Amino acid sequence: MTNTQITLIQIDNYGPWTVTPEPRREVDLQTLQSRLYADLSQLVGNRDGYVFFTRFDNMVAVTNGLDMDDHALIQESVRNRYPVTVSFGVATGTSPVQALADATNLIQDAGSAQDKSRREILDGRVIEDEFRTDHDVQIAHFDVVDATGKYTDELDAFGAFIEIEQAYASLMRYMYEAHDSLSFFVGGDNIIAVCPDLDAPAYDDAIEHVREETGIPLRVGVGEGSTPHDAGYAAKHALEVGRAEASPVEFH
Amino acid sequence: MTNTQITLIQIDNYGPWTVTPEPRREVDLQTLQSRLYADLSQLVGNRDGYVFFTRFDNMVAVTNGLDMDDHALIQESVRNRYPVTVSFGVATGTSPVQALADATNLIQDAGSAQDKSRREILDGRVIEDEFRTDHDVQIAHFDVVDATGKYTDELDAFGAFIEIEQAYASLMRYMYEAHDSLSFFVGGDNIIAVCPDLDAPAYDDAIEHVREETGIPLRVGVGEGSTPHDAGYAAKHALEVGRAEASPVEFH
Amino acid sequence: MTNTQITLIQIDNYGPWTVTPEPRREVDLQTLQSRLYADLSQLVGNRDGYVFFTRFDNMVAVTNGLDMDDHALIQESVRNRYPVTVSFGVATGTSPVQALADATNLIQDAGSAQDKSRREILDGRVIEDEFRTDHDVQIAHFDVVDATGKYTDELDAFGAFIEIEQAYASLMRYMYEAHDSLSFFVGGDNIIAVCPDLDAPAYDDAIEHVREETGIPLRVGVGEGSTPHDAGYAAKHALEVGRAEASPVEFH
Amino acid sequence: MTNTQITLIQIDNYGPWTVTPEPRREVDLQTLQSRLYADLSQLVGNRDGYVFFTRFDNMVAVTNGLDMDDHALIQESVRNRYPVTVSFGVATGTSPVQALADATNLIQDAGSAQDKSRREILDGRVIEDEFRTDHDVQIAHFDVVDATGKYTDELDAFGAFIEIEQAYASLMRYMYEAHDSLSFFVGGDNIIAVCPDLDAPAYDDAIEHVREETGIPLRVGVGEGSTPHDAGYAAKHALEVGRAEASPVEFH
Ligand SMILES: Nc1nc2c(ncn2[C@@H]2O[C@H](COP(=O)(O)OP(=O)(O)OP(=O)(O)O)[C@@H](O)[C@H]2O)c(=O)[nH]1
Ligand SMILES: Nc1nc2c(ncn2[C@@H]2O[C@H](COP(=O)(O)OP(=O)(O)OP(=O)(O)O)[C@@H](O)[C@H]2O)c(=O)[nH]1
Ligand SMILES: Nc1nc2c(ncn2[C@@H]2O[C@H](COP(=O)(O)OP(=O)(O)OP(=O)(O)O)[C@@H](O)[C@H]2O)c(=O)[nH]1
Ligand SMILES: Nc1nc2c(ncn2[C@@H]2O[C@H](COP(=O)(O)OP(=O)(O)OP(=O)(O)O)[C@@H](O)[C@H]2O)c(=O)[nH]1
Ligand SMILES: [Ca+2]
Ligand SMILES: [Ca+2]
Ligand SMILES: [Ca+2]
Ligand SMILES: [Ca+2]
C-alpha cells in the first residue's frame, strides 16, 4: 500500500501582484516563475522529493522524506530571495488524488489565493519516520514511443507540440478519473505520474486509452520507493528496460 | 499586415544525453530545463523578444528586434554555461504558423534532434531594419474569467489544473487550425497567442469555441507593435480595460 | 573544543577550459562562477552548512552536518547542470586551518588542478554522528562599525572599497597566523571567520591588530553550534547585541 | 584618449533589510547577492558591458554601449524579480577613477545607502552615440604566472588564497593611486583593470611594484575597444600571446 505525502505550493496573492501598480513585463514574470520552480526543485529534490510546475502559481510536490521543519526552511528561503511568498498545505494518504485534495483544503480554509492578508500558510502533517516504508511512493514514468522520428523530426514544431499535448491531456484526465493518479508533463515527450498501488493491467489500460483517443503510443516504467526520487529513479530504469525489450509496461 | 519573426530553439541531442551513461536525476533535469528557459527569456527579453517554454527541449521564440548576431551571442552564452548546446532556426512571415514551420525546416534539414554530429545550427534570416514596422507583431493575452473564485479557491488543485488545461488545449488547437496562430500557456490561467492580423470577430469566434467545447469563459486583450514586448504590453493593458469594463475582447 | 569539518571545493581543470578553444566571454565566466557558488550555497546551506566563494575556482565550505553521500549528491547535481565538474576534499579537526590543509592534501594527492584526467575526486571523511557535539563549530561574524556613515556615503565607491578590502586583508592574515582561523569576506563590510575554540581576549587582540594596521574599527559577534548555521546565526544575534550595547566583542 | 562610462550600482537600504525583522540566514544572503550579480552580469554583458561584484552591495559596471533606457530596463527587471531594489549613478570621463567618483556623487547626493525613502535612483548621463570611438575603453587583464604550479597545487588552499589576495590588494591600490585605474578580482588568479590611456611602461611599473611588495609575478594583456567586451576580449587574446611568448606586458 502506498502512502503518498503531497504538498500543494501556492504563491500568495500572485494575480494582483502581477498587475500592481501596472502590468509587469511578461519576460520578468516568466523568469521569476521558472527560477522559483527551479529553486523549489533543488530544495525539495535535495531531500529526494519531486516538484512539478503544474500552473507555476500552484505547484504540486511529492514530499515523502521532508518534515515540517524542512518545509519551513524552504518557505523562509523563498521569502529571503523573492519578491513573493509561498503557502504550503501538506497531506498524506493511499490515494494521491485524495492527498492533494486534502492539502488544497488546508490552504483554501486559510483564505483565498488572492487574499492580501493570507501569507505563508504552513499547515498539515507529514508521515512520522516510524511509519515510513519502502512502498510509500509509486511513480510511473511515461514516454512517447519514437517521438523524435515521428514528430520532432517530421512535423512543424507546433504540430509536434500539439500531438504531445494531446497525449498528455488524455493521459492526465484518465489517470485522475480512473486510477486516482496525478500526472505531470515534465518536458520533451515525458509524463511522470504519482500513483496509488497500481498493477500492470491498470497501466496497460491507461496506455490503451490514450492510443484509442489520440493514436499516440506510450511506454511506461514503474518504480516504488520510500521517496519520490527512489521510486522515480527505479521507474527510469524500468523504462530503459522497456525500451530495450520493446515492452510497453515495465515494473522495476 | 503582420510580419512575425519566429525562432525555433532546440536542445541538441538532448534525449540521449538524459540517459547517458545512466538516467539522470529528474530534479536536475527539471532545474536545468527551467533555468535554461529563464536565461533565454532574459537574453531574448532584454531585446524585447518573447520565449515560450513549449516542450522545454523545443522552445518557440518571437524575435522581432533581434538580428543573427544577437542569436549567435545567445548560443555562445548557453554553450559557455550549460552542459548542453542549442540550435536556432529563424524564419519570418505574415503567418506565425508558417514562419514556425519554415524555422522548423531549417533545423530538420540540418539533421535529427538526436543526431550526435548536429550541433549549434544557426540558420535562417531576420527582418532587415528598414522593413520593420509598428504592425509586425500582434499578441493576444487570454485569461480565464474569475479563475480564482471558480477554480483555485473551489476545486482541488488538480481539478482546477484540469479545467485550465482543457481551456488551453481547446484554444491552442483552434487558434492553430482556424486562425494561423501559436498559443502558449504562460502560467496561472493565462495564455499568450502570437497571431497574424486578426480582427475582433476572430477573437470572439475563438472565445465562443472554447466556451462551447469546455464551458470555460475567456477574456482577451490584443496589442500590436514592432516587437513582442510592445505588442504584448499593449495586450496586457487592453486586458485590464476588458477586466474593468467586463468586455471579452479588447484591442489596445 | 571545536571539531570543524572543512570541504575544499575545486573546479576541475578550469583554467584550460576558460581559454579552450578560445578565450570565453568574461561575462559568461562571471555568471557561471557566481551561479555555481549560489547553487553550492543552497545545496550545502539546505543542510545547515556554509560555503565561501574564496577564489571561485577554489571554494571553502564548512560542512558539519553533511555526510559523504550528501557530498556525492552535490557533485552529481553540478555535473548534471554545468559544463564543468568539481572535486571535494573533506577533513576535520580542532584547527580549521589544519583541517583545510588536510582537505587540500587529499585533492593535491589525486593530481593537479589542471590535470585533464583528474575529475570529481571525492575523498576524506566526516565526523560520525555519535561524535558530533554542540561545540563543534565556532563562527565569528565581524563587521565594520558605521561603514555607511564613514565610507559608503562619504568616499567614492572605490575608495570605500579599498578601506574595506584593507580591513579584510589585515584581519584574514592575522586570524590565520595568530589564531588558526579562516576568514572570508561575505559582502558589504562583513567578514565571517571559522575559528577554533577562541576566547574574548583573542578577538580583542584581532580587532586591536586591525585598528593599528589600518585604522578601521571592527565589531564581532561570536557563536557556537553543531552546524555552521547554528553557530553563525548565534553569531549574528551576538553582533546585534554588540551593536545595541556598543560593545566590540560579544559572545552568544 | 579613453572615455570610460562607469555605473555605480547600489542595493537600496540593504544593511537594514538584512537584519529586519531578524537577521536573515547567511546562505540566503549569499545566494541573493551572487544571483543578483550573475543577473546584472548577463543583462549588462548582453550589451557588451562588464559588471564587477566589488562589495556585492555596491557593484561597479563599465557600461559603454548602454544608454539610460537600458539602465532603466535593468532596474525594472531587478525590481520585478528580487526582494530588493537598486540605484544607478552613471558618469563618464577620461579617468575611470574620476568617472566612478562622479557616479558615486550622484547617488550620495540623493540620500544615504541606508535611507528608507531613497529608492531606485537613476541619474547621470551616457556618451552620445555620435561621440563614441573605438578607443573609449582600455581594459587590462592581469594574471599570476603559474599560479597552479606555485600555489594551488603546492600550498594549502587558504595559503594560496592569501598569496593571490596580497597580489590583488597591492595591485588594486597601486593602479588606483598611480594610474587612475580601477582593478577588480574576477576569480582564480585573474584581475581585470579598467584604465585610462596607459602605455607599456605604466604596466611594467605596476607589475614591478607588485613583485617588489609581494614577490608575486604578474603578466598582463591589454586591449582597447568601443565597449568593455571588445576591449576585454582583445586583452584576453593579448594575454594568450604573452603566455606563449613569456612576455609580461602585451598589447593587442
Ligand atoms: N524530463 C525528462 N525528459 C526526458 C527524459 N528523457 C528524455 N526526455 C525528453 O524526451 C525527449 C525525447 O527523447 P526520447 O524519449 O529519448 O526520444 P524518442 O525519439 O521518443 O525515442 P524513444 O523514447 O527511445 O522511443 C528529449 O528531448 C527530452 O526532452 C527524462 O528522463 N526526463
Ligand atoms: N504569465 C502571467 N500570468 C499572470 C498574469 N496575470 C495573472 N497571471 C496568473 O493568473 C493567475 C490568476 O490571476 P488573475 O487572472 O488575476 O485572477 P482571476 O481570479 O482569474 O481574476 P480575473 O482574471 O480578474 O477574472 C495568477 O495567479 C497568475 O498565475 C500575467 O500578466 N502573466
Ligand atoms: N553577508 C552579509 N552582509 C551583511 C549582513 N548585514 C549587513 N551586511 C552588509 O553590510 C553592509 C553595511 O551594513 P551595516 O553593517 O548594517 O551598516 P553600517 O553602516 O556599517 O552600520 P553598523 O554596522 O550598524 O555600524 C550592507 O550593505 C550589507 O552589504 C549580513 O548579515 N551578512
Ligand atoms: N575570470 C577569469 N578567470 C580565469 C580566466 N582564465 C583563467 N582564470 C582563472 O585562473 C585560474 C588559474 O588558471 P591559469 O591562469 O590558466 O593557470 P596558471 O597555473 O596560473 O598558468 P599560467 O597563467 O598559464 O601561468 C583558473 O582556475 C581560473 O579560475 C579568465 O579568462 N577569466
Ligand atoms: Ca520518447
Ligand atoms: Ca483570470
Ligand atoms: Ca557595519
Ligand atoms: Ca595564471
Burial bucket for residue A79 (CB in 10 Å: 0-12, 13-18, 19+) = middle
Strand partners, B36: none
- Whether C119 has its CB under 8 Å from any CB of chain B: the answer is no
Establish whether residue D18 lines the binding site of ligand 3, counting it when its CB lies within 6 angstroms of any ligand atom.
yes
pLDDT at A243: 96
Q: Cα–Cα distance between D195 and D140 in angstroms, integer?
A: 7
Asked if A76's CB is within 8 angstroms of D25's CB, the reply is yes
CA distance, residue D47 to nearest chain B CA (Å): 9
Burial C173-208 (b: 16+ CB within 10 A, else e): bbbbeebbbbbbbbbbbbbbbbbbebeeebbeebbe
What's the pLDDT score for residue C122?
A: 98
Tell the residue number behind the cell numbers 494582483, with chain if given: A16
Q: Which of D17, D25, D81 to mutate to test the interface with A (most CBs of A within 10 A)?
A: D81
Q: Map out the domains of chain A with their CATH numbers.
A: 4-131 (3.30.70.1230), 137-251 (3.30.70.270)
**Positive or negative: CA dihedral A233, A235, A240, A241:** positive
Are the C-beta atoms of A232 and A240 separated by less than 8 Å? no
Q: What is the pLDDT of residue B160?
A: 97
Residue B247: the pLDDT is 96
Q: Mutate which of A4, A9, A20, A41 to disrupt the B interface (most B C-beta within 10 Å)? A: A41
B221: left (phi over 0), alpha (psi -120 to 50) or beta: beta
- Mean pLDDT, rounded, of chain B: 97
Q: What is the mean pLDDT of residues A177-190?
A: 98
A79 contacts in D (CB within 8 Å)? Answer: 83
In angstroms, the CA A152 to CA B12 distance is: 12
Grid-cell match 518573447, residue found: B50
Asked if A59 and A40 touch (Cβ cutoff 8 Å), the reply is: yes
**Interface ipTM > 0.90:** yes
CB contact under 8 A, C76 and B31: no
Flag if A165 and B172 touch (Cβ within 8 Å). Answer: yes
Residue B177: other Cβ atoms inside 10 A:
11
Per-residue model confidence as pLDDT tens digits over A6-53? 999 999 999 999 999 999 999 999 999 999 999 999 999 999 999 999
Q: Strand pairing partners for D52?
A: D60
Length of chain B equals 252
Cβ of B29 closer than 6 Å to ligand 1, yes or no, is: yes
The pLDDT tens digits along chain B (252 residues) read 999 999 999 999 999 999 999 999 999 999 999 999 999 999 999 999 999 999 999 999 999 999 999 999 999 999 999 999 999 999 999 999 999 999 999 999 999 999 999 999 999 999 999 999 999 999 999 999 999 999 999 999 999 999 999 999 999 999 999 999 999 999 999 999 999 999 999 999 999 999 999 999 999 999 999 999 999 999 999 999 999 999 999 999
Per-residue CA distances from C15 to C56, D77, D188, D219 (Å): 12, 33, 8, 15
Length of chain D: 252
The pLDDT of residue B154 is 95
Q: What is the pLDDT of residues D71-120, one digit of tens each?
A: 999 999 999 999 999 999 999 999 999 999 999 999 999 999 999 999 99
| pLDDT tens-digit readout, D19-69 | 999 999 999 999 999 999 999 999 999 999 999 999 999 999 999 999 999
* pLDDT tens digits along B126-163: 999 999 999 999 999 999 999 999 999 999 999 999 99
- Mean pLDDT value across residues C54-73: 98
Residues 6+ apart with CB under 8 A from C219: C142, C143, C144, C145, C207, C239, C242, C243, C247, C248, C249
Q: Please list every residue in chain C whose beta carbon sits closer than 8 Å to the beta carbon of residue D240.
A: 19, 23
Distance of residue B81 Cα from the nearest chain D Cα, in angstroms: 11
Q: With bands split at pLDDT 50, 70 and 90, how would you rate the model's confidence at D249?
A: very high
Torsion on CA atoms A158, A162, A165, A170, rounded to nearest 10: 180
Q: Concatenated DSSP letters for D89-119?
A: EEEEES-HHHHHHHHHHHHHHH--TT-TT--
CB contact under 8 A, C42 and A73: no
Strand arrangement of the beta sheet that strand B4-11 belongs to? B50-52, B58-62, B4-11, B86-93, B122-124
Interface test with C, best of A35, A42, A66, A78 (most C CBs within 10 A): A42
Report the C-alpha gap between C221 and A39 in whole angstroms: 31
pLDDT of residue B204: 98
Query: Dihedrals φ, ψ of A68, to 5°?
Result: -65, -35
**What is the Rg, in whole angstroms, of the alpha carbon atoms belonging to chain B?**
19
d(CA C60, CA C83): 21
pLDDT tens sequence across D158-179: 999 999 999 999 999 999 999 9
Residues B187-199: pLDDT tens digits? 999 999 999 999 9
Q: Give me the amino acid identity at B49.
A: G
- Cα gap C156→C179, rounded to integer Å: 34
Is C77 within 8 Å of B24 when comparing Cβ atoms?
Answer: no
**Spatial contact of D8 and D60, defined as CB atoms under 8 Å apart:** yes
Q: Name the residue of C14, C24, C53, C107 whose CB sits within 8 Å of the most ligand 4 atoms, as the mutation to test its pocket.
A: C14
B154 lines ligand 2 (CB under 6 A): no
- Cα angle A190, A193, A198 (rounded to 5 degrees) comes to 130
The residue type at D111: G
List pLDDT tens digits, range A131-170.
999 999 999 999 999 999 999 999 999 999 999 999 999 9
Per-position b or e across B83-106, b if 16+ CB within 10 A of its CB: bbbbbbbbbbbebbbbbbbbbbbb
Can you tell me which residue has the cell 577613477? D97
* Residue whose CB lies within 8 A of the most ligand 4 atoms, among D139, D152, D190, D245, for a mutation test: D190
Beta strand C218-225 pairing with C137-144: antiparallel
| Confidence category of residue C228, pLDDT binned at 50, 70, 90 | very high
